[in-house]
């Protein structure tokens, strides 16, 4: 039987084994150019058929962005609708939020989500920052574009060779253990609607308000020998009494809650101490940590690189704090209004005479994460300050100060001669966090009006002589709507921080520190020893 294949064409044993010495013409690669390559090249680059198409799409997108840039400012106003502006450059895999879609600001809703923190997980509130119902606008309410300055948060100017990273507000101890890192873009998506609010008690006395400065007539600011003093939460004698009687489980002050609620607008470093003792949770501030910042939300915000500079951050802060107190004293008349308990609960805690002030202790019932849950609401009592009264309306009185006085922008001549709203809109950009905290405090206290004064140096180099150039009046809710400030979002931040701390702290006593990183857009939560700061 013959073989199924032909063996006659096999090479002889004398010829070498392998390919033929010549390549047949039919197998030659005619007219194929040689393309050099590197072994490090990615395989995908050898057949990137989409390159031309992608280059064209990129060119079209760049042209579109350029057109949009020419039409409007690329930096949007603050608020939950601009949550992506608050995000850090990189996302942490260990911290995420289930609902990553931005919720429109104009919808009132409370949604539930799960907030993941640090290394562990616990349910928390979430959603867009619901806009509170806005009252009718009064004649003094004005529309403002509160777009922030280019570096509206906490980046120091890396292009400045003399610039340096900002120091944290407190030294981190060796025994401190970080339990959570929360980026700003997570904070802006939280939402809790706190509807149940009641006044528990009130203390103090306030003077009536003199609106002469609203006529915009320059007047020298007179320093006052009196001061404003309010002790921290855990040392408040009224709060101690309310805690011992079981009126609530969580206690704080309006200034502390405003700091937390407006955290995503802050740039400079700060810290809040949270402790639990005998089942009572207190939010506290350390001594001398409640100074006012100046131009915090500007690109080149004041720093302390030069301690001799009268415009250093610390000296401007001390100047602004003194101006705020002196302006309050300058607006008060002799007639007084007494609250339920006329005595000042802090009169014995200060060596200096105190300005008259009122204090409302208000209870807020924070609903559980799941609205269908049978879990009772979290009861929190907040001490809220009242500065003055005008025809039965409770007031918050604050002052903005100008230090870089130049002839082209001198408040002494510009405020009285032109529209004051333009100057205030500029201040909203430079001091967005400070003004937001003033508004938040007023809304927490149920106050009717915010009075904002404008105080400038008599000359740019004189830090001891100031001039009151005018004052404006606003309702807190309308002003909050103009800068996209949501109290529901603020309550979401506070509730989530409480959930994190309670989960990490356990049933017994504990102490935590919420620390704002001055060089990053995030909050760090540390568990610290019980004897820290003592």
Domain ranges, ordered by start, for the chain: 80-527
Tokens of 267: 């740039």
Contact (CB, 8 A) for 395 and 388: yes
Helix (H) or strand (E) holding 321: helix 313-330
Cα–Cα dist 89/75, whole Å: 16
Q: What is the mean pLDDT of the chain?
A: 80
Tokens of 156: 């120091």
- Buried b / exposed e over 423-460, threshold 16 CB at 10 Å, is bbbebbbbbbbbbbbbbbbbbbbebbbbbbbbbbbbee
In tens digits, the chain (534 residues) has pLDDT values of 566 767 666 666 666 666 666 666 666 665 666 556 555 555 554 555 555 566 667 777 666 665 554 443 332 333 333 333 333 333 444 444 444 444 444 433 333 333 333 333 333 333 333 333 333 344 444 444 444 443 443 343 444 555 567 889 999 999 999 999 999 999 999 999 999 999 999 999 999 999 999 999 999 999 999 998 889 999 999 999 999 999 999 999 999 999 999 999 999 999 999 999 999 999 999 988 889 999 999 988 999 888 889 999 999 999 999 999 999 999 999 999 999 999 999 988 778 899 999 999 999 999 988 877 788 999 999 999 999 999 999 999 999 999 999 988 899 998 877 778 889 999 999 999 999 999 999 999 999 999 999 999 999 999 999 999 999 999 999 999 999 999 999 999 999 999 999 999 999 999 999 999 999 999 999 999 999 988
Contact (CB, 8 A) for 209 and 390: yes
Q: What is the pLDDT of residue 28?
A: 64
Tokens of 349: 């805690």
Q: pLDDT tens digit string along 104-159?
A: 444 333 333 333 333 333 333 333 333 333 333 444 444 444 444 434 433 434 44
Distance of CA 53 to the CA centre of its chain: 42
Please tell me what DSSP assigns to residue 479: H
Contact (CB, 8 A) for 456 and 413: no
SS3 524: strand
Length of the chain: 534
Distance of CA 207 to the CA centre of its chain: 32
Tokens of 483: 């800068």
What is the phi/psi pair of residue 295, to 5°?
A: 50, 45
**Rg, Å, the chain Cα set:** 31
- For 60-111, give the secondary structure using H, E and C: HHHHHHHHHHHHCCCCCCCCHHHHHHHCCCCCCCCCCECCCCCCCCCCCCCE
Which sign, positive or negative, has the C-alpha torsion 219, 472, 254, 209? positive
Q: How buried is 6 (Cβ within 10 angstroms: 0-12 exposed, 13-18 middle, 19+ buried)?
A: exposed
Q: What is the pLDDT of residue 373?
A: 78
Cα–Cα dist 278/504, whole Å: 17
Write the CA distances from 272 to 152, 237, 359, 381, integer angstroms: 22, 20, 21, 17
Cα–Cα dist 337/158, whole Å: 52
Cα–Cα dist 112/124, whole Å: 7
Q: What is the pLDDT of residue 244?
A: 96
Cα angle, residue 361 at apex, residues 358 and 365 outer, rounded to 5°? 150
Identify the residue whose tokens are 């030294």.
171
Contact (CB, 8 A) for 199 and 100: no
Q: What is the DSSP string of 133-146?
A: PPPPPPTT------
Cα–Cα dist 484/103, whole Å: 13
Cα–Cα dist 71/74, whole Å: 9
Cα–Cα dist 365/385, whole Å: 20
Write the CA distances from 369 to 2, 126, 279, 378, integer angstroms: 88, 9, 21, 10
Contact (CB, 8 A) for 169 and 304: no
Tokens of 388: 């003055």
Q: What is the pLDDT of residue 487?
A: 96
Contact (CB, 8 A) for 504 and 528: no
Contact (CB, 8 A) for 499 and 160: no
Q: pLDDT tens digit string along 70-118?
A: 443 332 333 333 333 333 333 444 444 444 444 444 433 333 333 333 3
Write the CA distances from 378 to 193, 209, 234, 244, 303, integer angstroms: 13, 36, 18, 17, 40
Cα–Cα dist 483/478, whole Å: 9
Q: What is the pLDDT of residue 149?
A: 40
């Amino acid at each position: 039987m013959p073989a199924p294949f032909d063996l006659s064409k096999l090479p002889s044993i004398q010829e070498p084994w392998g390919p033929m010495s010549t390549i047949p013409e039919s197998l030659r690669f005619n007219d194929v150019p040689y393309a050099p390559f590197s072994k490090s090249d990615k395989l995908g680059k050898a057949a990137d058929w989409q390159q031309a198409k992608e280059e064209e799409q990129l060119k079209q997108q760049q042209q579109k962005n350029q057109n949009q840039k020419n039409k409007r400012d690329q930096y949007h106003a603050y608020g939950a609708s601009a949550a992506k502006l608050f995000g850090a450059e990189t996302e942490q895999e260990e911290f995420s939020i289930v609902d990553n879609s931005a919720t429109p600001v104009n919808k009132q809703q409370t949604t539930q989500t799960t907030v993941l923190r640090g290394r562990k997980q616990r349910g928390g509130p979430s959603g867009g920052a619901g806009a509170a119902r806005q009252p009718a606008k009064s004649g003094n309410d004005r529309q403002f574009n509160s777009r922030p300055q280019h570096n509206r948060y906490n980046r120091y100017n890396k292009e400045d060779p003399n610039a340096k990273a900002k120091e944290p507000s407190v030294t981190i101890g060796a025994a401190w253990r970080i339990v959570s890192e929360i980026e700003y873009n997570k904070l802006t998506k939280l939402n809790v609607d706190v509807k149940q609010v009641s006044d528990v008690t009130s203390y103090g006395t306030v003077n009536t308000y003199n609106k002469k400065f609203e006529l915009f007539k320059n007047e020298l600011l007179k320093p006052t020998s009196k001061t404003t003093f309010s002790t921290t939460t855990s040392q408040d004698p009224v709060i101690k009494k309310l805690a011992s009687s079981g009126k609530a489980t969580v206690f704080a002050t309006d200034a502390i809650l405003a700091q937390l609620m407006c955290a995503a607008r802050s740039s400079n470093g700060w810290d809040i101490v949270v402790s639990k003792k005998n089942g009572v949770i207190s939010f506290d501030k350390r001594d001398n940590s409640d100074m006012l910042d100046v131009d915090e939300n500007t690109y080149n915000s004041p720093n302390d690189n030069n301690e001799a500079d009268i415009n250093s951050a610390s000296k401007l802060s001390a100047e602004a704090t003194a101006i705020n107190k002196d302006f309050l004293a300058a607006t008060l008349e002799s007639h007084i209004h007494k609250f339920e308990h006329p005595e000042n609960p802090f009169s014995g805690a200060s060596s200096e005479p105190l300005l008259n002030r009122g204090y409302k202790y208000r209870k807020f019932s924070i609903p559980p994460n799941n609205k269908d849950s049978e879990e009772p609401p979290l009861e929190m009592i907040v001490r809220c300050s009242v500065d003055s009264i005008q025809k039965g309306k409770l007031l918050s009185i604050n002052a903005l100060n100008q230090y870089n006085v130049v002839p082209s922008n001198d408040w002494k001549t510009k405020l009285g001669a032109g529209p004051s709203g333009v100057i205030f809109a500029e201040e909203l950009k430079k001091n967005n966090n400070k003004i937001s905290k003033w508004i938040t405090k007023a809304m927490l206290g149920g106050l009717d009006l915010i009075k904002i004064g404008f105080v400038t140096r008599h000359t740019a180099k004189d830090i001891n002589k100031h001039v009151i150039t005018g004052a404006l009046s606003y309702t807190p809710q309308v002003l909050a709507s103009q800068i996209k400030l949501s109290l529901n979002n603020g309550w979401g931040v506070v509730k989530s921080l409480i959930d994190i701390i309670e989960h990490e702290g356990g049933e017994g006593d504990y102490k935590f520190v919420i620390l704002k990183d001055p060089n990053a857009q995030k909050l760090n939560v540390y568990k610290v020893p019980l004897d820290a700061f003592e």
